[in-house]
Amino acid sequence: MSSYTLTNFAKRHIGISSSEINDMLNVIGVDSLDQLIDETVPDSIRMKNISNCPML
């Protein structure tokens, strides 16, 4: 396996950079990821107390 393939694989799975997040937020027209979540995820399905999360 070449290092080029590993680099592409890693880039796909590491996620986007801070500057890419800011670019996305600007395109969408929100100031933060919190605002994006507030505007898209209904309050009725949000976890109210994260300390009760079995995955943590």
Residue predicted with more confidence, 42 or 8: 42
pLDDT of the residue at 4: 55
pLDDT of residue 16: 85
DSSP 8-state class, residue 4:
H
pLDDT of 3-41, one tens digit each? 555 677 777 777 788 999 999 999 999 999 999 999 999
pLDDT tier at 48 (50, 70, 90 boundaries)?
confident
Q: What's the predicted TM-score (pTM) here?
A: 0.60
DSSP string, 13-50: HH---HHHHHHHHHHHT-SSHHHHHHHHS-GGGS-S-G
Span 35-51, average pLDDT: 88
